[in-house]
Amino acid sequence: MANENSQSNRVETFDRRARKFVHAGYGFLALNLAYLAIAMFFIPSFDLGFSALLSLAAFVLLAGLLTYYLIKGKEMLAQILAVIYGARSIFLVYSLTDANTFPAAPYFLPCLLTIFYLLGRAGWDWP
């Protein structure tokens, strides 16, 4: 009976941890696509030429690939991406003090902070 309880606790802990990676993966994809949409909206003369479409396709494929590995539970990837997005958030907060900041910067900050939290939650098992 005690063995069943300990095995049940391990399965429940694994399910909770796997769920965090699924949330981090899909949140990472959705918020990066929102980030891209905000950037495209605020760039004044965005030309959708062939090179721009290739760049957009590469961005979406890379985000999709990283999402796939996050959903698979790659802890090191989640930690590395969390550090990158944490640093980007800090730099963005610092750049908001300058008057010549990109106009979309205040809209990027919630995306970056949410991605950072979701990745940190998966990578370091935050609550």
- For position 5, what pLDDT does the model report? 60
Calculate helix-pair angle for 75-95, 2-42, nearest 10 degrees: 40
Cα of 14 vs its chain's centroid, Å: 22
Instruction: Give the pLDDT confidence of 51-84 residue by residue, as tens digits.
Output: 888 988 999 999 999 999 999 999 999 999 999 9
Half-sphere exposure of 49 (CA within 13 A, CB side): 4
Specify the pTM.
0.83
Q: Are 31 and 115 in contact (CB under 8 A)?
A: yes
pLDDT over 70 at 23, yes or no: yes
Provide the domain count of the chain.
1
4 or 57, greater pLDDT: 57
Distance in angstroms (rounded) separating the CA atoms of residues 100 and 76: 36
Give mean pLDDT, residues 105-116: 91
Q: Which domain covers residue 74, as residue numbers?
A: 2-123
pLDDT over 80 at 9, yes or no: no
Give mean pLDDT, residues 22-40: 92
- For position 93, what pLDDT does the model report? 92
> Percent of the chain scored above 70 by pLDDT?
87
* Encoded amino acid at 65, one letter: L
Q: Are 119 and 80 in contact (CB under 8 A)?
A: no
